[in-house]
Structure 1
Amino acid sequence: MKNKTILIPNTFYGLTVPAVFHRRLHRFAAWVETEEGIEEVHIPNSGRLAELLFAGNRVGLHLEGRKGRKTRYTLVKAQTPDGWAFIDSRLPNRILARHWQDFPPLRGYDKAYPETAVGASRFDLALYGKNSPAITFLEAKCVTLVQEGSGLFPDAPTERGRKHLHELAHLARDGNRALVFFFVQHPGGKRAWANGKTDPEFAAAMHEAIQAGVEFYAYRVMPGEEWVELTEVPVEEPPGD
């Protein structure tokens, strides 16, 4: 496929503070070392991130500056051989909230509502169009694990992720348009697919969703100082699988 690139203003992060990773305290906290010494920071991602957050690796911190926070900084990026990987799992929804109309698959809709509940599930976006009687539902996934060019989701088993795919498949069978966007937040990502080795049930649910008519798209996300570059990459199985 010919890669299509979308440019949006980087209103998400300013200049990051350099640090060295020490160790993870629990899913959402870690110790890092800055010029000022050891600092506890927030990790905005519950995944394993073992290939990114290891002792001695270079990381980047975002100064939050909000009163009442336990930590001053949020760890938003980690060094890889290909460049910086952005681990912030909040980024996909923040991008969609402000720029959903910039994505070609979402053009033609008039309104979008975040965090829309359907049955027992809650989806990242519900879209409405004057010329479309059915509601469109979208779920976004943050991908940080890349192996040999393949962005793989999830990096840890996810019951919630499987549930979303089953519900989207059900909605698609009922005549609604249903989509999944993989946001590959790693510079080495050339494609995206399910991580069948880590979560075979998610991989099976993805195959089921595709058969039901759920649409899958993937974008490599590269934030720069002024712009965020979103490059469409194929949703396809890794070579050799």
Structure 2
Amino acid sequence: MTDLVKAIFRKRANRFIVEAELDGEIVRAHLPNTGRCKELLVDGATVYLKPSDNPNRKTKYSLYLVENNGALVAMFSQQANSIVFDAIKEGKIKELLGYSILESEKTIGNSRIDIYLANEDSSNDGSKVIDETYVEVKSVTLIKDGVAQFPDAPTERGRKHLEELISLKKEGIRAVVFFLIEHPNGNSFRPNWENDPKFSQTLNKAYAEGVEILVYKTENTLESIELVGNSLDFSLEK
């Protein structure tokens, strides 16, 4: 990401568009994050924009990083899937080692789960898929007193993903919800009961049903965003 340009955040025009000051000029940039991000996107904050070479785009830039309390925060929430996918591929996540099949996205029911893992058993006459695991990834940027919280805005879609994981687990299939903290100041995790009690209740239900919860964080620089360390602690209490 060496092509990032430094700018000053000015305002959020709508859900997907922000305005920033670049070299004294106001430019519009795509915001690849549907969260509220109110504590991050404040007037005067330093942001880093990625230029686009697509002449058909409505905006010339995308907002990738924002400085907050001395840390670089990753704002491209969809990129969390590929970060976790690459980390699994590179063997960085000990809880998800030992799979021969690794796929991004798998449709189950009415939802697409982010990552699919499995092994192939060829010991019998015909090979068959075994040890299936579905992993749903959530990008987390909201930090309160060092504790990462999700979501920062109500998410019916996120709640439905949890219900799908619960259904999979009831069928005897391993299911994981993976919270990737993309704000370096977050050192543990809890659901955001205040902003979305329904999601928080469903996360508790999922955990009680045997859906696994993994919490990791990223190390962010202007050159790369990478998953680091081991799984962090979490609490499901209010």
Q: Secondary structure at the match of 1:130?
A: strand
**For the structure 1 residues 14 and 94, does the alpha-carbon distance in structure 2 shift closer, same or farther, using more than 3 Å as the test?**
farther
Stretches of structure 1 lacking an aligned partner (at least 5 in a row): 1-12
Matches within 5 A, 1:1-241: 13-35=1-23, 37-101=25-89, 102=91, 103-130=93-120, 133-224=130-221, 225=223, 228-237=226-235, 241=238
Aligned residue identity for 1:202: F
Specify whether residues 229 and 161 from structure 1 end up closer, same or farther in structure 2 by C-alpha distance, changes over 3 A only. closer
Between the aligned partners of 2:209 and 2:224, the Cα distance in structure 1 is 39
Native 8 Å contact 1:192 1:233 kept in 2: no
Q: Percent identity?
A: 34
Distance 2:85 2:217 in 1: 18
Change (3 A) 1:227 1:44: closer
Residue range with higher mean Cα deviation, 94-103 or 137-146:
94-103
Structure 1's 95 and 89: CA in aligned 2 closer, same or farther, altered over 3 A? same
TM-score by length of 1: 0.88
Aligned length: 228
Alpha-carbon distance between aligned partners in 2 of 1:97 and 1:220, rounded to the nearest angstrom: 14
Point out the structure with max Rg over C-alpha: 2
TM-score calculated relative to the size of structure 2: 0.89
Cα shift readout 1:87-134 (whole Å, capped 9, x = no counterpart) = 110221121343422222221111122221111111001111135724
Query: Which amino acid in structure 2 is aligned with residue 25 of structure 1?
Result: A
Q: CA RMSD in A?
A: 1.9
For 1:30 and 1:37, how far apart are their aligned partners in 2? 14
Distance 1:15 1:235, change over 3 A: farther
Match of 2:125 in 1: none
Shift in Å at residue 220 of structure 1? Answer: 1.1
Task: Give secondary structure in 2 for the equivalent of 1:203.
Answer: helix
Q: Deviations over 1:160-198 (max 9, x none)?
A: 111111110111121000011111010110011211110
